[in-house]
Amino acid sequence: DTGVSQDPRHKITKRGQNVTFRCDPISEHNRLYWYRQTLGQGPEFLTYFQNEAQLEKSRLLSDRFSAERPKGSFSTLEIQRTEQGDSAMYLCASSLERGQFFGPGTRLTVL
């Protein structure tokens, strides 16, 4: 399967813990995006990488959030000191030009 993959698919954590998610984009895609989707809403943009450079971050991305794409391939999204409000589906997408391809998402539940 050559689509976008994300790991883990589900994560349950306690408030205050740190969590890290991984995204592996489609191999030839140089653009990578992270979005967050809460129940009943459309995805909201968090951050964007072109190759290894992080070129845009949403105001939704507080200081507790950090994302990396060290070699321009896979990406990680870390949330420090998780809060209950961080519970959501975290989506990764990749593209060459317009039209992004999404992974299955990581569902985070913060207890």
- Chain residues binding another protein by CB under 8 A are 4, 31, 33, 35, 40-45, 48, 50, 55-56, 91, 93, 95, 97-105
Token digits of residue 96: 């060459």
**CB-nearer residue toward another protein: 44 or 83:** 44
Distance CA 35, CA 102 (A): 10
Q: Which is nearer to another protein, 14 or 27 (CB)?
A: 27
Nearer to another protein, 59 or 71 (CB): 59
Secondary structure, 3-state, 20-52: EEEEECCCCCCEEEEEEECCCCCCEEEEEEECC
Write down the least CB distance from residue 14 to another protein, Å: 26
